[in-house]
């Protein structure tokens, strides 16, 4: 199963919106504070275990916040560990 994190442009408060896409479903985390809870909701909605996710991608907008990018990269790295 393929999971994609799409980091959007930073808003006035400096935070980027992150869209999580799993198969044909997607959910939006309004900022990096909500990524893990949004991922949990997405997995439960699709009745998929995180161990079934093998392909994790990152798509970054040109105006994405640097901190948001780093946080998402760290989460992806942690999810990729076996």
Range of the domain at 41: 2-80
Closest CA to 25 of 6, 45, 7, 5: 45
pLDDT tens per residue, range 4-38:
999 999 888 778 899 999 988 999 998 888 999 99
pLDDT tens per residue, range 32-55:
889 999 999 999 988 988 888 888
Q: How many CA atoms lie within 13 A of 22 on its CB side?
A: 20
- pTM for this entry: 0.87
Instruction: Return the CATH number at 54.
Output: 3.30.420.40
- Total tally of structural domains belonging to the chain: 1
């Amino acid at each position: 199963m393929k999971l994609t994190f799409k980091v959007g442009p930073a808003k006035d408060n400096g935070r980027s919106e992150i869209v999580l896409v799993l198969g044909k479903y997607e959910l939006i985390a309004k900022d990096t504070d909500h990524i893990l809870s949004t991922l949990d909701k997405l997995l439960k909605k699709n009745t998929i275990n995180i161990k079934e996710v093998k392909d994790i991608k990152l798509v970054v907008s040109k105006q994405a916040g640097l901190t948001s990018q780093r946080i998402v990269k760290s989460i992806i790295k942690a999810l990729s560990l076996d």
